[in-house]
Amino acid sequence: MKKFFTGAIACAITFFGANKIYAQSGEITGQVGDASNKEILVGVTVIVDDTVGTSTNATGFYRLQVSEGQHKIAFRMLGYQEYKTVFTISAKQALMINAKLKVAATDMGMVVVSASKFEQKLNEVVVSMNVVKPQLIENNNQTSLTGVMEQVPGVTIVDNQANIRGGSGFSYGAGTRVLMLVDELPLLAADANDVKWSFMPIENIEQIEIIKGASSALFGSSALNGIINVRTAYPKSTPETKINFFAGMYDQPKDRRQRFWGKEDVQAVTGYNFLHSQQIKNLDLVFGGMVNNDDSYREGDNEKRFRVNTNLRYRVKGLPGFSFGVNANYQRAQGSTFFIWRNDTTGGLLAADNTISDYNTQRFSIDPFVTYVSPHFGTHKLKFRNFNTRNYNNTDQSSFANNNYLEYQYQQKFAELVTVTAGAVNQDALIRGEFFNRHTSTTTAFYLQTDWKWNRFNFSLGGRMENNVMDTIKIDYKPVLRSGVNVELRKGTNIRASYGQGYRFPSVAERYVKTNIGIVSVFPNDSLITESGWSAELGIQQGYKFGTTLGYIDVAVFQMEYTNMMEFVYGVWSSTNIGFSSRNIGNTRITGVDITWFNQGKFGKIPLNIFAGYTNINPIKTDYNPVEDTVSGTANFNILKYRYRQMLKADVETGYGKFLIGANVRYYSEMENIDRIFAVFIAGVDNYQKTRTGGDWITDVRLIYNANARVKIGAVVKNVANRFYVNRPANPQALRFFSLQVSCKF
């Protein structure tokens, strides 16, 4: 692999040098309007060669510096058909390109990249996807990505582990079947192979793309259940600075006996985040950060967090299509961790004895990259990420992990109909510390995918070969395939079908961790083998338009099957080892239906934005053994542990004038099967399970006042009913929470 990448870099340098053009740039300007009523359009995205971008200002004008030569330009805006054209410009030339956009009858205009590593319209992809825009994050005053993901249909977060359509249960923070990406690069800690949600730059998000179903063909291990890709934003032509201040407090629990703080005390959350973005000639600069202090509603669960991040990209003036840059993110946090309650009544918010640990963490990532878009020889991307995590605590569980990820990607389009994407990946990790001792891992992978359009059809076919080595344990190359088709039956109606294989290698934590958390003991299992599986679905998306309101309803039926699924199981592993250990539990199947409703626009002068969904699953073992499985779990029938059969989520926002009012509603059915050990040895768990068979309804409300174009004030009340509930045994979720935020733009 070292020879491969050395050769690739050398070829790239030679290629760039041979094609270097010492040229001066020209300038393009123009105005964009509505083709039907001739009104100007504000906020239209203008993209040149898929790399340089800006947006139209308050008068519909845009301005861009571009190198001499031939270029492609695209104009995009939600609710309008995309307009593309080709132009040629010479040095120092001033060229005007105006555009008139036609209203799209049913086209939502959402563009995504995660499905196939290039830009596609959402209604043309072959898999189920959801898209989250920054407005949903800001208006709900979310300070961490976990709260954002809880609003996405079919997605849950349990102890920081993402679960899509019931594909995962509860693995005690070790291992994930959902791959977390930031700008298409993996961001999982090398030791536990888990997501550090608070590390995500929530103040600088262009959009979040969630793929539901196996995605290992393009993205590798840990994408067995899907991916979450956070796309950060680069600056537009106009400099912008955003500052958001927030403060809030937790209400008292309904049962006052649970309160552990004094009558005069307040359990508060305070902080702010900021972002500045600006184009300085050929340099794109983004700088942001966050400060957050959370006293928590649970004993020993407080945190103080500080984070800064930057995106830098330089577009080389003398070499058209060539850019390079670096993104970086640093976070430091300290606090304490709550694991299980003392009981479900007076001790519901109190930690069980010997379960609180104090921590101090540092996390850092740096991502240098080089991109070259050739007019004739495709797009070349060389991307690197170093992700370093340092975890210190007072329970002899400190660990240090360093992960290096390198990827070369080549993409070629033929007549805008066929896109071929190929790449090679090398990943090295070093883990050491009190918790894991010392371990290393190496991953090498190659992938190839072809996407093509033919009349009303969009086809996709791809595959990946991946090899993984942990210490001296070597796993042979693992091949996986993915295929799919999307057919436009008529304007606004698309039907799709897909099949994808996936796999997941055990994490270091699953193989080697040995620890105690109160009465809960966890033991290693170095004999774990790779789990694999596949996911298939059939879906239909129907778009609609009423006046200026656009939306779609998406319905998908799916089936996921896993072989040698890994889960933590309670058992007797030796004469002295009695507790939880990660085991291959056998073969499983999850079938279900997933429905999404998205609406955006206005009825007259009244805005109405809806993002809602319903998920129903049937998670079972295909090699179910009533004797063994009913002993370890609380259910006397075939159902996987720690799953919700039904989930309903809806975020609705409307308003009038300068006011917006919104509500977010979430329903989780009861968790029918958990480890029996929880019900037997942890006080209150058995009683809670028996008395909460109806599931949980959680409602948040918000009121937003747009004082002017630069200042916005919002009030949010979360868990309005102040419901006491858990998302896994003995893990109480947030009480009623009042918050106020002030957002300013300059």
pLDDT digits (tens, 9 = 90+) for 641-675: 999 999 999 999 999 989 999 999 999 999 999 98
Residue 667 and residue 645 in contact, taking contact as beta carbons nearer than 8 Å: no
* Cα–Cα nearest to 592, from 559, 635, 638: 559
- pLDDT tens per residue across span 555-564: 999 999 999 9
- Can you tell me whether residue 376 is helix, strand or coil? coil
Q: Are residues 140 and 87 both part of a single domain?
A: no
Average pLDDT taken over every residue of the chain: 88
Q: What pLDDT sits at residue 10?
A: 40
Count CA atoms closer than 13 A to 152's CA, side-chain side.
Answer: 26
Q: For the ranges 33-47, 101-115, 403-417, 676-690, which has the lowest average pLDDT? A: 101-115
Residue 121 and residue 106 in contact, taking contact as beta carbons nearer than 8 Å: no
Residue 228 and residue 208 in contact, taking contact as beta carbons nearer than 8 Å: yes
Q: What pLDDT sits at residue 107?
A: 52
Answer yes or no: is 265 within a domain: no
Q: What pLDDT sits at residue 44?
A: 85
Q: What pLDDT sits at residue 9?
A: 40
The DSSP secondary structure of 293-348, one letter per residue, reads EE--SSTT--EEEEEEEEEEEEE-TTSTTEEEEEEEEEEEEEEEE---BS-SSTTT
- Higher per-residue confidence, 276 vs 102: 276
- Higher per-residue confidence, 234 vs 51: 234
Torsion of the alpha carbons at 122, 128, 133 and 139, rounded to the nearest 10: 140
Question: Rounded CA gap, 651 and 136, in Å?
Answer: 9
Answer yes or no: is 257 within a domain: no
Question: Rounded CA gap, 256 and 267, in Å?
Answer: 15
Question: Rounded CA gap, 393 and 399, in Å?
Answer: 9
- Higher per-residue confidence, 220 vs 309: 309
Q: Residue 16 sits in a domain of what CATH number?
A: 2.60.40.10
- Can you tell me whether residue 223 is helix, strand or coil? coil
Q: Are residues 199 and 135 both part of a single domain?
A: yes
Within 10 angstroms of residue 105's Cβ, the number of other Cβ atoms is: 12
Domain finish residue from 83, 101, 119: 101
Q: What pLDDT sits at residue 517?
A: 74
Q: What pLDDT sits at residue 3?
A: 41
Q: Are residues 52 and 176 both part of a single domain?
A: no
Q: What pLDDT sits at residue 15?
A: 37
Q: How many domains does the chain have?
A: 2
Q: Are residues 606 and 516 both part of a single domain?
A: yes
Domain finish residue from 101, 124, 139: 101
Q: What pLDDT sits at residue 17?
A: 40
Please list the residues that pair with 671 across neighbouring strands: 644
Q: What pLDDT sits at residue 507?
A: 87
Q: What pLDDT sits at residue 312?
A: 96
pTM of the model: 0.86
Q: Are residues 142 and 16 both part of a single domain?
A: no
Residue 537 and residue 258 in contact, taking contact as beta carbons nearer than 8 Å: no
DSSP state of 123: G
| Position 407 pLDDT exceeds 90 | yes
Q: Are residues 95 and 139 both part of a single domain?
A: no
Q: What is the mean pLDDT of residues 180-200?
A: 91
The confidence band for 28, taking pLDDT boundaries of 50, 70 and 90, is very high
Q: Are residues 75 and 125 both part of a single domain?
A: no
* Cα–Cα nearest to 271, from 308, 311, 244, 238: 244
- Higher per-residue confidence, 351 vs 579: 351
- pLDDT tens per residue across span 679-723: 888 899 999 988 888 899 999 999 999 999 899 999 999 999 999
| Position 8 pLDDT exceeds 70 | no
Q: Are residues 94 and 204 both part of a single domain?
A: no
Element at 389 (helix H, strand E): strand 378-393
Q: Are residues 63 and 194 both part of a single domain?
A: no
Q: What is the mean pLDDT of residues 326-335?
A: 97
Question: Rounded CA gap, 383 and 135, in Å?
Answer: 29
- pLDDT tens per residue across span 123-170: 899 999 999 999 899 999 988 899 999 999 999 988 888 899 999 887
- pLDDT tens per residue across span 473-484: 777 677 899 999
Element at 16 (helix H, strand E): helix 2-18
Please list the residues that pair with 501 across neighbouring strands: 534
Amino acid at 137: I
Q: Residue 531 sits in a domain of what CATH number?
A: 2.40.170.20
| Position 593 pLDDT exceeds 90 | yes
Question: Rounded CA gap, 541 and 488, in Å?
Answer: 10
| Position 450 pLDDT exceeds 90 | yes
- pLDDT tens per residue across span 59-95: 788 988 888 888 889 998 766 788 999 999 988 899 9
Structural domain boundaries enclosing 423: 111-252+271-745
Q: What pLDDT sits at residue 742?
A: 96
Strands (E) across 455-472 are located at 457-470
Domain finish residue from 81, 101, 121: 101
Reported residue count of the chain is 746
Strands (E) across 493-605 are located at 493-504, 515-517, 520-523, 531-546, 549-572, 578-600, 602-603
